Structure 1
Amino acid sequence: MPGYKGHLAGGAALGGSTIAAAVYFSYLPKDIWLLAALFSIAVMASLFPDTDTESKGQNFFYSIMALTDVVLIINKYYEWAAILGLFAMLPALGKHRGWTHTWWAMLIVPAPIMILPWIFFREDWMVTLPFYLAAVVGYFSHLLLDREF
């Protein structure tokens, strides 16, 4: 079982190669900010399953989430800051290698990335689909490295 550095590397490798393939086959535009956001989501999602236990990965993940929350609050995106805070706490509701290490969590946990923009802003799901898929790919890399399949 790899540690947080292994999961970061796995998320970066699988996320980066998936994004590169999507650009190559013209599924994604060559927009540096979009690609950076997708890559960041994949890498962060690769750490999510281990946020249910005290670890360096958990500390890194929550440091980034806290920083993101502060930026949202400073920019007066209070609803998004509250949502991020709520979803960041969910792993604490289970035991280590419990629900966070399942294939169904890999598909359900990132779902708010697509659902919430539709609820709040009536954003077309096709706009948020790449962000959802980036999270699923990152999450998948974690489960794959932990040999959960």
Structure 2
Amino acid sequence: MQNLLDIHLNPDFWGVREHCLENLRPSHIERLEGLIRKYPTLLSGAFFLRSTSRNGTFFSYPDDEVGDKEVIAWSRISDDHEILCATNLNQENYAVVYVTVDDVMHSIDSSMKCLFASDLSPAELNIEVRNGKAIRLTIPPHALVIYC
């Protein structure tokens, strides 16, 4: 399987591949391969690193000096369709973070549905007005989640 990050995050700057993707169970890999076939945007869409916030007010990127280094989020966009991916690199604790999404593509009364979660995660999340638009993710330790 071509890795979800090979095209745009090579080398593995924040350890996403090492700490999350390489630890997925074979059944997760099969589900991801199916998602890539169904949603080619995961590999070929325009790549956008997304800012995150623990408090919903101060947003930063992982490469900022004060940025969150445990949650890495990115979007792939094509044909006015956004797929949001996020990983929690913490080995022990859940991460609850707000993640910025495309402001123009999402209306305030809309939501994003979970396409994939390597552990228990909410099935649907509402779009909120924060840093433009954002969703509030709950990501289990060492997990990957994908929403659209």
Greater share of residues in helix: 1
TM over 0.5: no
| Higher RCO (CA 8 Å, separation ≥ 6 residues) | 1
TM-score (norm 2): 0.28
